[in-house]
């Protein structure tokens, strides 16, 4: 398999705080890689390292097969585009002038492809409207347009739908999918909105405290996110005792509810609970979501 980015035991500290702790990840060519973790888990630090904005304390990474210490790593970075944290745009310029400025910064000999980029991000009809008058969604798309100058085939996006309204989120999703399918652009996307990420990603990496906990394809995640039966009962303690006796895997959600991750004879279970003085309030079959899987993996809050 061809990989755009591979990291090997990356470490990065700020004073005495270790932000990345032996992080190893692999992003296949053509993937939309969803990078998931709590605030402070190390997502943005990893992105800044890959973009060359910072250097690792130890470990290494390769970009298009070139090690980060290679003198010619700059050639690999020319194949990258990035929108880190907030889009860097000139507020008093139009969308077209913002792109022209990026062409000049990169030293490109002409503005070839500029109109195509504006069409791709649906900003070709903004005319003389300045970026400061754009909606947040338009500014996000302009940031991606700027990152597309130079014809990169790897885009790094840090929270691309953060703060967008539902329509803006849909537009961003459609743009990412279009660029991936039609332009064969590989994506590394850090996002808090896990439900939205699950509609895009072909691969996932789960980071916690600077370490990659798990990395797998969307198909492998689908297999891991098993079906379960969510039960609401009068006493989850009694339910746990009965399920332990049956040798059934489960996860307690609250004092009155739990997810059962196995096929179970419901008639036998209800009778056993009745003998234990526990009433069944409801039982529903569910598919575990990306968000619930992530929470069970890292343990604790939902602040991804």
pLDDT tens digits along 135-180: 999 999 999 999 999 999 999 999 888 888 889 899 999 999 999 9
Two tokens, residue 198: 């699950």
Mean model confidence pLDDT for the chain: 90
How many whole angstroms from its chain centre is CA 13?
23
Structure tokens at 192: 């808090």
pLDDT in tens, 43-74: 999 999 999 999 999 999 999 999 999 999 99
What is residue 48's predicted lDDT score, i.e. its pLDDT?
92
Res 181 pLDDT > 50:
yes
- Determine how many CB atoms are found less than 10 A away from the CB of residue 101: 15
Q: For residue range 272-289, what is the model confidence (pLDDT) as tens digits?
A: 999 999 999 999 987 767
- How many C-beta atoms surround the C-beta of residue 212 within 10 A? 23
- What pLDDT sits at residue 221? 83
The confidence score (pLDDT) of residue 300 equals: 57
Q: Is 97 helix (H, G, I), strand (E, B) or coil?
A: helix
Give the mean pLDDT of 18-37: 95
CA dist 155 and 5 (Å) reads: 11
Q: Look up residue 12 and give its two tokens.
A: 């990065």
Q: And the tokens for 23?
A: 């992080």
What are 230-269's pLDDT values in tens digits? 999 999 999 999 999 999 889 898 999 998 988 889 999 9
Q: Which DSSP symbol is given to 1?
A: -
Report CA torsion sign: 189, 51, 60, 186: positive
Task: Kindly state the DSSP code that residue 288 receives in the 8-state scheme.
Answer: P
Cα–Cα distance measured from residue 127 to residue 189, given in angstroms and rounded to the nearest whole number: 30
Rounded to 10 degrees, the C-alpha dihedral 12/202/198/21 comes to: -10
- Identify which of 157, 151, 152 has the alpha carbon closest to the alpha carbon of residue 176: 157
46 in helix, strand or coil?
A: helix
* Assigned token pair, 124: 């070709």
Q: For residues 98 and 115, what is the distance between their CA atoms, to the nearest angstrom?
A: 12
**CA dist., res. 119 & res. 187, Å (int):** 20
Give the pLDDT of residue 296: 75
What pLDDT does 84 receive?
84
Q: pLDDT band at residue 227, thresholds of 50, 70 and 90?
A: confident
In this prediction, residue 86 carries a pLDDT of 75
The C-alpha atoms of residue 65 and residue 5 are separated, in whole angstroms, by: 8
Long-range contacts of 165-169 (CB under 8 A, 24+ apart): 165/136, 165/137, 167/137, 168/135, 168/136, 168/137, 168/140, 169/193, 169/196
Tokens encoding 158: 């840090």
């Amino acid at each position: 398999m061809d990989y755009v980015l591979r990291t090997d035991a990356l470490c990065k500290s700020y004073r005495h705080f270790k932000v990345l702790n032996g992080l190893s990840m692999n992003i296949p060519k053509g993937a939309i890689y969803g990078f998931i973790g709590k605030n402070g888990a190390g997502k943005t630090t990893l992105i800044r390292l890959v973009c060359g904005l910072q250097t690792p304390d130890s470990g290494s990474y390769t970009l298009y097969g070139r090690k980060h210490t290679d003198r010619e790593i700059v050639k690999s970075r020319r194949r990258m585009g990035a929108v880190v944290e907030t889009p860097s745009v000139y507020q008093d310029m139009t969308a077209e002038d913002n792109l022209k400025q990026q062409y000049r910064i990169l030293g490109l000999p002409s503005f070839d492809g500029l109109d195509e980029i504006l069409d791709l991000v649906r900003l070709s009809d903004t005319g003389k409207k300045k970026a400061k008058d754009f909606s947040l969604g338009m500014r996000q798309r302009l940031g991606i347009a700027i990152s597309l100058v130079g014809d990169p085939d790897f885009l790094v996006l840090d929270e691309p739908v953060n703060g967008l309204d539902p329509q803006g989120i849909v537009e961003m999703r459609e743009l990412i999918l279009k660029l991936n399918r039609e332009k064969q652009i590989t994506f590394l996307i850090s996002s808090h909105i896990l439900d939205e990420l699950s509609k895009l990603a072909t691969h996932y990496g789960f980071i916690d405290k600077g370490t990659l906990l798990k990395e797998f394809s969307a198909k492998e995640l689908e297999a891991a996110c098993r079906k379960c039966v969510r039960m609401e009962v009068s006493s989850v303690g009694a339910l746990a005792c009965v399920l332990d006796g049956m040798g059934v895997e489960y996860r307690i959600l609250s004092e009155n509810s739990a997810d059962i991750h196995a096929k179970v004879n419901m008639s036998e279970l209800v009778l056993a609970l009745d003998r234990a003085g526990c009433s069944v309030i409801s039982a529903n079959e569910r598919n575990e979501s990306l968000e619930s899987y992530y929470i069970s993996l890292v343990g604790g809050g939902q602040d991804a």
